Copies of this chain bind each other. A is one copy, B any other.
Amino acid sequence: MAELWQLLTEEDWDTPQVIVHRGKLLANIEAMAAFANRHGVRVRPHVKTHKTWEIFALQQAAGAVGLTCAKLGEADVFLQRGATSVLVAYPLVGSRKLERLFALLARFPEAEVQTIVDSPEQAAALAQAAVSRGLELPVWVKVDSGLRRVGVLPGAPAAKLVRVVQKLAGLRLLGLLTHAGHAYGAASPEQVAEIGAQEAACLVETAAMLADQGVAGLHISVGSTPTVRVSGAVPDVTEIRPGNYVFYDATQVQLGAATPDQCALRVLTRVVARPEPGRIVIDAGAKTLALDKGAHGSDALAGHGLIVGHADAVIERLSEEHGVVQIAADSPIRVGDLLEIIPNHACPVVNLTDELTVIGEDGTLETWPVIARGKVR
């Protein structure tokens, strides 16, 4: 496969470097938009994967109704660039966070900022802060569909929190929201599909229970990249929030959610040593590739990324600036060669770089700044 960057001289590249194949990126965004159109669901992509205005702009052009993020600092940089609807999908706790949330609302009065609630106490503190400022905040009730991270359990516990939120002045209930991140621990594509079905079903059932209690009109928001094609196709689901699909990565390949060829984000690295015939060292280490061997701390993948065109090479271990790769003793790889790696998990790779080098279909290069890199607060 002739890769586009090979149109340039190998010598032209300083390494390591995070590159994006623009053609693959566009195809991934269009495919998700087409899926959403087909099923009549809105797309509110999680921008943690790319942290880049240019890519969110492409998602908007393809119909995204707004964005999802985890931190106020991420919301801030996207609002500065002109985002009009932002969901901060993280439980905001403590007076400093609430002050920062309302400061953001004051700075961007035209924008809608949504967030989540996951307990009566956390919801009450948020409501009180909103009321004291004469505001009403749009919120989702966060449901735990099996990830066992944050959120209330579906069914009666979720229905109970919904009724609490409905009674709180200062909050405006949007609906039920979940993220089936445990799909990343699935053993097969069939199990991914099963988790996707459960993801949607537990919210749909909770909404039905609430409808019986007279609470109607709730939106239902689901979706991780591996589960979204199942959960997003369930009638009654109104919104999906996939993130990783813009790039995909070796984790998605292993789950059956993408092919290697669809993976749009790659790391370009150079072979810096071949101390023995069966071992090379590359200049991409954990500071570039991150140490993920799956998502949410799972340990599903054997190596630290896929080397394009060298299926038998295994990235065995990473220290911060070195990748140690096992190759066949008669491999033609030489010191000085460039290699292209599909990382295990694209999101942390983006968070480790200040910019993405984007390679157009015609070989042109653009640099897109990672504006939300490092926004942990």
Residues of the B chain whose Cβ atoms lie less than 8 Å from the Cβ of A290? 286, 290-291
User: Are A93 and B270 neighbours in the complex by a CB distance under 8 Å?
Assistant: yes
Q: Which of A266-307 contact B (CB under 8 A)?
A: 270-273, 275, 279, 281, 283-284, 286-288, 290-292, 295-297, 304
Task: Judge whether A91 is part of the interface by a CB distance below 8 angstroms.
Answer: yes
Residues of the B chain whose Cβ atoms lie less than 8 Å from the Cβ of A320? 48, 70, 347-348, 351
Most buried by B among A14, A287, A352: A287
Task: Judge whether A66 is part of the interface by a CB distance below 8 angstroms.
Answer: no
Among A36-44, A143-151, A190-198, A214-222, which stretch is in contact with chain B?
A143-151
Whole-angstrom CA separation of A17 from B270 in the bound complex: 34
Q: Mark A8-31, 1 if CB is under 8 A from B, else 0.
A: 000111111100000000000000
Identity of the chain B residue whose Cβ is nearest the Cβ of A298 in the assembled complex: B317
Whole-angstrom CA separation of A71 from B122 in the bound complex: 45
Number of chain copies forming the complex: 2
Among A95-103, A169-177, A203-211, which stretch is in contact with chain B?
A95-103
Also in contact, A377 and B273, with CB within 8 A (given A148-B279, A351-B287): no
Whole-angstrom CA separation of A119 from B274 in the bound complex: 9
CB-contact partner of A122 in B14, B90, B270, B335, under 8 A = B335
Whole-angstrom CA separation of A71 from B322 in the bound complex: 11
Residues of the B chain whose Cβ atoms lie less than 8 Å from the Cβ of A17? 377
Whole-angstrom CA separation of A292 from B304 in the bound complex: 13
Q: Mark A73-111, 1 if CB is under 8 A from B, else 0.
A: 000000000000000001101111100100000000000
Also in contact, A319 and B291, with CB within 8 A (given A150-B272, A275-B151, A335-B93): no
Identity of the chain B residue whose Cβ is nearest the Cβ of A290 in the assembled complex: B291
User: Are A377 and B14 neighbours in the complex by a CB distance under 8 Å?
Assistant: yes
Task: Judge whether A354 is part of the interface by a CB distance below 8 angstroms.
Answer: yes
Interface size class of A (residues with CB under 8 A): 35 or more
User: Are A318 and B297 neighbours in the complex by a CB distance under 8 Å?
Assistant: yes
Main secondary structure, interface of A, reads loop
Residues of the B chain whose Cβ atoms lie less than 8 Å from the Cβ of A70? 320-321
Whole-angstrom CA separation of A94 from B14 in the bound complex: 9
Whole-angstrom CA separation of A289 from B122 in the bound complex: 25
Also in contact, A352 and B336, with CB within 8 A (given A319-B149, A320-B70): no
A146 CB, nearest partner CB in chain B, Å: 12
Identity of the chain B residue whose Cβ is nearest the Cβ of A49 in the assembled complex: B320
Whole-angstrom CA separation of A14 from B376 in the bound complex: 10
Most buried by B among A70, A93, A100: A93
Task: Judge whether A363 is part of the interface by a CB distance below 8 angstroms.
Answer: no
Identity of the chain B residue whose Cβ is nearest the Cβ of A91 in the assembled complex: B272
Q: Which of A106-139 contact B (CB under 8 A)?
A: 118-119, 121-122
Also in contact, A273 and B91, with CB within 8 A (given A70-B320, A319-B295, A374-B353): yes
Residues of the B chain whose Cβ atoms lie less than 8 Å from the Cβ of A292? 286, 291
- In the assembled complex, 22 residue pairs joining A and B whose CB atoms fall closer than 8 Å, in A order, are A11-B94, A11-B96, A12-B96, A15-B377, A17-B377, A90-B272, A91-B273, A93-B273, A93-B283, A118-B273, A119-B275, A144-B275, A149-B275, A149-B281, A149-B324, A150-B275, A150-B281, A181-B319, A286-B292, A286-B348, A295-B319, A297-B319
With contacts A149-B322, A288-B376 known, what are 5 further pairs, Cβ within 8 A? Answer: A17-B377, A93-B273, A121-B335, A122-B273, A151-B275
